[in-house]
């Protein structure tokens, strides 16, 4: 396998040509979100394909178009790949209409992914909101499958309501894992909700994970991210200890089509994972 990123997993030497993939399973996460499990049709690629947590792909519904999603499964679990889709536009609606057995296109993996090697030996604090858990669950499962390499794990996850909680099967599994400190919260509960209520940043502040030898990985709606960073700073995290993954409108995924830049950085090519130190150094607030 070549180490040259630009040559990896190319279909017929053309970086814009997708691989054909088949939907193997569909999980309804919330009324607007599904997780799709898929595998490549090409068996060789199925065996060789690797990626890093935090990397993304360009997914095609032929005749409708392409859209960008992170790979939400862990590279340590090779049986199939997963991604989660919120129904918001043309392509995401078309993805929601796919059935098990349907074919779609996939290009990738693109982007930098999380700096997993630098997380070894550290306490990990995961903070996520809504479908923002998708890129983090790739990382969390990777870490769990390599549990000895990491110290304490804290997860704070929230959604607007109990119905908006994604990946409930993961939340259960992590809640039952004695090596993980799992906190789930909703902004507002319903009649049957017995768990925690409160916004993610506040719940994080109450959980108060130590910044000592720790990194925090944050993903969620922009408003949640904006309120979470100050809380982490208050807990003693430095900007170098905080990471997030940014979302931008993308088309090519490989730094050519132009639209996902923040100054001279392209979220597709230089990101999508950035430390808060990097974000503070961005020349503009256009993120």
Partner 1 sequence: MADSKRINKEDTGRLLDEWSKEFSVSVPSRENGMPAMLPWDGKDTSFLEWYRNTVIPPKANFFPPYEKMFDFQKGAEGYHLELPPSDKQKQLIFGIRPCDARALTILDTVFQDTYQDPYYLSRRANTVLVGLGCTNPYDSCFCTSLGISPGESTDVDLMFTDTGDGFFIEPVSDKGRELLAATGGLEDGLEADEARAKDVKEAAYRKITRRIDTGDIQQRLAACFENQDYWEKVAAKCVSCGICTFLCPTCYCFDINDELSQDEGTRFRSWDSCSFPIYTRMPMENPRQEKWRRVRQKVCHKYWFYPVNLDITACTGCGRCIRLCPVNWDITQTLNNLPASS
Site residues, partner 1 (CB under 8 A): 5-6, 11-18, 20, 22, 41, 60, 62-66, 88-89, 103, 105, 221-222, 247-249, 251-252, 254-264, 269, 283-284, 286-287
Tokens found for residue 73: 């499964």
User: Prior bond to 109 cis, omega within 30?
Assistant: yes
Nearer residue to partner 1 within complex by CB, 147 or 249: 249
Nearer residue to partner 1 within complex by CB, 11 or 144: 11
Least Å from the CB of residue 212 to partner 1: 35
Picking from 117, 109, 122, 175, the residue whose alpha carbon sits closest to that of residue 152 is: 122
Read out DSSP for 170-197?
A: HHHHHHT-TTEEEEEEESS--TT--SEE
CB atoms within 10 A of CB 68: 25
Nearer residue to partner 1 within complex by CB, 136 or 254: 254
Nearer residue to partner 1 within complex by CB, 65 or 198: 65
Least Å from the CB of residue 286 to partner 1: 4
Least Å from the CB of residue 226 to partner 1: 12
Picking from 247, 248, 229, 225, the residue whose alpha carbon sits closest to that of residue 238 is: 229
Least Å from the CB of residue 26 to partner 1: 18
Specify the DSSP class assigned to residue 76.
T
Strands (DSSP E) along the chain, which ranges? 19-30, 33-40, 56-61, 65-70, 81-86, 103-110, 123-129, 153-159, 180-186, 196-197, 214-219, 242-245, 261-262, 265-266, 273-275
Nearer residue to partner 1 within complex by CB, 208 or 223: 223
Q: By the 8 A CB rule, do 219 and 272 touch?
A: no
Least Å from the CB of residue 89 to partner 1: 6
Nearer residue to partner 1 within complex by CB, 22 or 173: 22
Least Å from the CB of residue 257 to partner 1: 5
Look at phi and psi of residue 136 and say left if phi exceeds 0, alpha if psi is from -120 to 50, else beta: alpha
Q: By the 8 A CB rule, do 65 and 101 touch?
A: no
Least Å from the CB of residue 197 to partner 1: 24
- Please give the Cα distance from 201 to 155 (Å, whole number): 12
Strand partners, 86: 33
Nearer residue to partner 1 within complex by CB, 56 or 237: 56
């Amino acid at each position: 396998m070549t180490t040259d990123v630009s040559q990896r997993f190319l279909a017929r030497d053309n970086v814009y040509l997708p691989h054909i993939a088949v939907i193997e399973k569909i999980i309804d996460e919330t009324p607007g979100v599904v997780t799709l499990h898929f595998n490549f049709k090409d068996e060789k690629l199925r065996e060789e394909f690797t990626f890093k947590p935090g990397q993304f792909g360009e997914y095609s519904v032929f005749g409708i178009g392409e859209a960008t999603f992170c790979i939400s499964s862990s590279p340590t679990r090779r049986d199939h790949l997963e991604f989660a889709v919120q129904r918001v536009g043309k392509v995401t609606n078309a993805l929601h209409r796919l059935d098990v057995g349907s074919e779609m296109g996939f290009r990738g993996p693109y982007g930098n992914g999380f700096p997993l090697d630098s997380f070894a030996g550290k306490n990990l604090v995961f903070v996520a909101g809504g479908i923002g858990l998708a890129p983090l669950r790739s990382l969390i499962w990777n870490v769990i499958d390599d549990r000895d390499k990491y110290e304490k794990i804290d997860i704070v996850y929230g959604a607007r309501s109990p119905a908006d909680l994604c990946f409930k099967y993961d939340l259960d599994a992590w809640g039952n894992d004695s090596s993980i400190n799992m906190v789930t919260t909703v902004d507002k509960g319903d009649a049957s909700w017995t768990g925690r209520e409160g916004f993610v940043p506040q719940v994080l502040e109450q959980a108060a994970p130590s910044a000592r030898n720790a990194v925090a990985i944050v993903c969620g709606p922009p408003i949640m991210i904006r309120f979470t960073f100050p809380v982490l700073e208050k807990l003693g995290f430095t900007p170098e200890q905080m990471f997030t993954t940014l979302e931008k409108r993308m088309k090519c995924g490989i730094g050519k089509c132009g639209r996902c830049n923040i100054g001279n950085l392209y979220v597709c090519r230089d990101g999508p994972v950035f430390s808060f130190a990097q974000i503070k150094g961005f020349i503009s607030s256009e993120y």
